[in-house]
Amino acid sequence: MRRFPEGFLWGCATASYQIEGSPLADGASPSIWHRFSHTPGNVQGGDTGDVACDHYRRWRDDVALMRELGLKAYRFSIAWPRVLPDGTGRVNEAGVAFYDRLVDALLEAGIVPFATLYHWDLPGALQDRGGWANRDVVGWFTEYAGLMFERLGDRVQHWITLNEPWCVAHLGHVAGVHAPGMRDLWAGLRVAHHLLLAHGEAVAAFRASRAGRGRIGITLNLAPQHAATSSQTDRAATDRADAYHNRLFLDPLFKGRYPAVLVQHFGEAWPEVTDEDLAIIRRPIDFLGINYYSRSVVADAPGEGLLGIRHVDTAGARTAMGWEIYPQGLYELLVRLHREYGPLPLYITENGAAFDDRLDASGQVDDAERVDYLHRHFLAARRAIDDGVRLEGYFVWSMLDNFEWALGYSKRFGIVYVDYPSQRRIVKRSGRWYRQVIEANGVPE
């Protein structure tokens, strides 16, 4: 049995738009994902977050389910449009009350709440004013963050400013496959910069708030980039991929500068960056959240796409998302972060897998592949701890099957199956297995 350190925070992660449903209830306003999913052609099957897992109404039962699973912690996100329907100014007390009750129920169940301030559901009213591409967003986000610190900061001690700024900037503003569906590199690079500025200003607001004695961090999706061959061109291509996918956020946050290779590569599209900006962005944080799913194998592809690279397919098993199952990449990433950007406390704020789960004749889900995936990734994380990495918690994505963005409900990541027509929750084999891991605080070798 490979035991984890005493007090290791085992949990699950979710996000507001993906599980709550009731997007316009009790004074909430439309988010950019409400608009995006209701725009035909954007989401597979025309799925939307209108109902999702109906968590907005079933939250009490879901907290009871978390307690049954033995979770030590639970990472959720707050829907900005519920608490500030116009994005700024007027507070919607019914929206705040939902999270107030949720936090109280979690504490009552002995579960540590981790609150993500932004997991992609920007108020549509702010998109109408330019959204993340408008530098005024820094003030809007700081006002929202300050309100949440004020209202929940006496009970929530762990705060994540942003979930995956790379996805917000690239998928939302360059590739256009996520809300708000823009395809504009110039805008996307400014969105990345504004996200980091907003993060930095929220950190300062946190330090000044009643919540200030807690911990604040940011969550980044990070993936090791491996060169397809040892050729100079493939190695240079991999360096560009690593700079864009990983260092674009890691370097300013922890080194106070953007990767030079990107500034060169993007030329006049690169935004104006001042030293004052960089000082805001690099304000010290208390932990780094890491969302790890897989790695990429990269080859040089002159003139192709944004970076002149292409991703090479590898042999080996893949999840239902087509992502290579590569647990050693988690070990490699954690050790790199510790050595190059640390040493600071780390949390795996997301790791998990989608597989084609089906209810069997007895109405259960025997998701052996997910058990194997998690087991191997837990062991990789445990190895990193042996090498001195200050890993303090692990949140499995996700507690429930839920709305998988542009893929709608076609992908199931949950350790609990959701039968959407009935909204019944059915704990999968992986959920029962995870409960034992948490109880033992360890996994078999």
Ligand X SMILES: OC[C@@H]1[C@@H](O)[C@H](O)[C@@H](O)c2[nH]c(CCc3ccccc3)c[n+]21
Residue 164 in the binding site for ligand X (CB under 6 A): yes
Q: Cβ of residue 327: shortest distance to ligand X, in angstroms?
A: 16
Is 4 or 114 the residue whose CB approaches ligand X more closely? 114
**Is there a catalytic annotation at residue 150?**
no
410 vs 441, which CB is nearer to ligand X?
A: 410
Q: Which stretch binds ligand X (CB under 6 A): 43-51, 63-71, 159-167, 240-248?
A: 159-167
Does residue 350 belong to the site contacting ligand X (CB under 6 A)? yes
Residue 293 in the binding site for ligand X (CB under 6 A): yes
Instruction: Provide the token pair at 381.
Output: 């994380």
**340 assigned to active site:** no
Residue numbers 207-266 binding ligand X by CB under 6 A:
221
Binding mask 395-414 for ligand X (x = CB under 6 A): --x------xx-------x-
How far apart are CB 248 and ligand X at their closest, in Å? 14
- Part in contact with ligand X (CB under 6 A); list of ranges 21-29, 61-69, 160-168, 299-307: 160-168
Shortest distance (Å) from residue 77 CB to ligand X = 9
Rank residues 4 and 417 by Cβ distance to ligand X and give the closer one: 417
- Selected binder of ligand X within 22, 291, 296, 351 (CB under 6 A): 291
Between 131 and 414, CB nearer to ligand X: 414
Which one is catalytic: 164, 324, 369, 404?
164
Query: With respect to ligand X, which residue has the nearer C-beta, 48 or 291?
Result: 291
Residues forming the active site: 164, 350
Residues that bind ligand X (CB under 6 A): 15, 18, 163-164, 167, 221, 291, 293, 350, 397, 404-405, 413
